[in-house]
Amino acid sequence: MKRTRTALAAPALALASLMVLSACGDSDSSSSDSAAGKSEESAKAPEKTADPAAELRRAALTANEVKGFAVKKPDAKYAFATSQDQMKVDKPVCTPLAYATNQLPLGAPKADLVRLATGAKGPGDFTYVTLATYGSGEAKTTLAELSKSIRSCGAGFSAEAKGNKGGFSSIAAETAPEPSGADESLAFRVTTKIEGITHTMRAQVARHGDTIAIYYAVDGMAFTQDRPGNAKVGEAVVAAQSAKLA
């Protein structure tokens, strides 16, 4: 049966393909200088500026750090949009929600990355983790903008990217335990209908200092099995990622 590609709700085609992707891990490398090898000039040189991207990679979950889940980098070719500028949202106030539900960072971070945790309840149990780090104080403002978006977009919104269209029919705030070590957090659910079947996705967003973690859950098998989806964010994923951000 041919299915409509509604990418905002994690399309059946993309989900089916994701299920058969092999896991891929990060290759970490490190180096050190011996004291004897340092010249007088290098010793007097100013300290290197911290690399936000490198720090974020160190904080990201790796392949076997979440019990019951496999963690990998998602394949960008299945993304609804790979950058913020590719996406057009019919209601500007809903733009933060469009980013959060499509593995894009909120606002204007210094660095960001995405990981996909899958498998605790089967091959279609997906929790996407989007990490982004910001300048001093910017993460707090960025999270407030998402909160406003949730309050303002209860009736849903639509978006377009790369010639594909998708949307949600409803958005609602939810309550969830605050992740360990988080300075603040919020949670929400979104729903969409595909061929008359309602699918519910859930998200939890936490701020750890100047870093924001977005957890977005999708019941992938529901799209391919013609049944309602009722995804829940993987608690073990949140716990493991929160520990690394502490």
Output the pLDDT for position 34.
37
Output the pLDDT for position 39.
42
End-to-end alpha-carbon separation of the chain, Å? 46
- Report the C-alpha dihedral over residues 64, 177, 100, 227, rounded to 10 degrees: 80
Architecture of domain 7-19+52-245: 3-Layer(aba) Sandwich (3.40)
Contact in structure between 66 and 237 (CB atoms under 8 Å): yes
Domain boundaries, the chain: 7-19+52-245
Output the pLDDT for position 49.
66
The residue ranges of the chain whose pLDDT is under 70 are 1-49, 120, 123
Output the pLDDT for position 223.
87
HEC readout, the chain:
CCCCCCHHHCCHHHHHHHHCCCCCCCCCCCCCCCHHHCCHHHHHCCCCCCCHHHHHHHHCCCCCCCCCCEEECCCHHHCCCCCHHHEEECCHHHHHHHHHCCCCCCCCCCEEEEEEEEEECEEEEEEEEEEEECCCCHHHHHHHHHHHHHHHCCCCEEEEECCEEEEECEEEEECCCCCCCCCEEEEEEEEEEECCEEEEEEEEEEEECCEEEEEEEEEHHHHHCCCCEECCCCHHHHHHHHHHHC
Output the pLDDT for position 47.
54
